[in-house]
């Protein structure tokens, strides 16, 4: 029975990812998510509580996957930015969800405890790289992380007609020039 529940939960998360990334939180409909996931609304609510909690679960799952697949290398932030570009190009729904979160909830999802802890570890790694002289101290560690994250997520959206390799080159070159 647990395997069925896991499969149903995965179908709900997949359907919700598509719905939220296309329509945002306010525009998303639980009816459409349940239909796409081939389950009823009551089951969806029993797993996730409400639409906001479902969005949080979707967002957290995508962020956890990104963090696991792209560990920071603070001494080579240009390469790290390139990895983030690749992830943004492979899974554009994460960028869309982050934008919807910012627009509709003021970035509440970006302030989850798990994400804040992950960012704190990245900021510490950047501060250590700055202290060792590996990267410039022109910007604070928090500003460096913000610059790398914004460039690697927004540039692929803005240059959507450019070949992926060119987008990656633009971002990695910009990060290298900003931080060296």
Cα(47)–Cα(33) distance, rounded to whole angstroms?
13
Helices 51-69/113-131 angle, 10° precision: 30
Place of tokens 């943004």: 88
Q: Find the angle CA(67)-CA(122)-CA(136) to the nearest 5 degrees.
A: 130
Question: pLDDT-derived band of residue 2, with 50, 70 and 90 as boundaries?
Answer: low
Tokens of 177: 């020039």
Cα(143)–Cα(175) distance, rounded to whole angstroms?
12
Q: What is the pLDDT of residue 51?
A: 96
Place of tokens 């990104």: 66
pLDDT in tens, 18-39: 999 999 999 999 999 999 999 9
Question: pLDDT-derived band of residue 14, with 50, 70 and 90 as boundaries?
Answer: very high
Q: What is the pLDDT of residue 16?
A: 98
Cα(97)–Cα(83) distance, rounded to whole angstroms?
19
Tell me if 12 sits within 8 A of 42, measured CB to CB.
Answer: no
CATH top class, domain 50-179: mainly alpha
pLDDT at 109 > cutoff 80: no
pLDDT at 53 > cutoff 80: yes
Question: pLDDT-derived band of residue 136, with 50, 70 and 90 as boundaries?
Answer: very high
Question: pLDDT-derived band of residue 1, with 50, 70 and 90 as boundaries?
Answer: low
Cα(75)–Cα(70) distance, rounded to whole angstroms?
14
Cα(18)–Cα(131) distance, rounded to whole angstroms?
42
Rg of the chain, C-alpha, whole Å: 18
pLDDT at 90 > cutoff 60: yes
């Amino acid at each position: 029975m647990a395997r069925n529940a896991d499969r149903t939960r995965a179908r709900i998360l997949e359907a919700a990812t598509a719905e939220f990334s296309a329509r945002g939180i306010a525009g998303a409909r639980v009816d459409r998510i349940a239909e796409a996931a081939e389950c009823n609304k009551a089951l969806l609510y029993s797993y996730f509580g409400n639409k906001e909690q479902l969005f949080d679960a979707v967002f957290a799952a995508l962020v956890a996957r990104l963090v696991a697949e792209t560990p920071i290398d603070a001494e080579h932030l240009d390469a790290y930015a390139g990895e983030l570009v690749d992830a943004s190009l492979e899974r554009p729904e994460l960028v869309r969800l982050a934008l919807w979160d910012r627009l509709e909830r003021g970035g509440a999802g970006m302030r989850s405890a798990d994400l804040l802890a992950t960012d704190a570890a990245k900021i510490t790694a950047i501060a250590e790289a700055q202290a060792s002289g590996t990267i410039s101290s022109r910007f604070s560690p928090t500003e460096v992380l913000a610059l790398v994250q914004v460039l690697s997520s927004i540039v692929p959206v803005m240059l959507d007609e450019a070949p992926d390799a060119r987008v990656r080159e633009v971002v990695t070159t910009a990060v290298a020039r900003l931080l060296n």
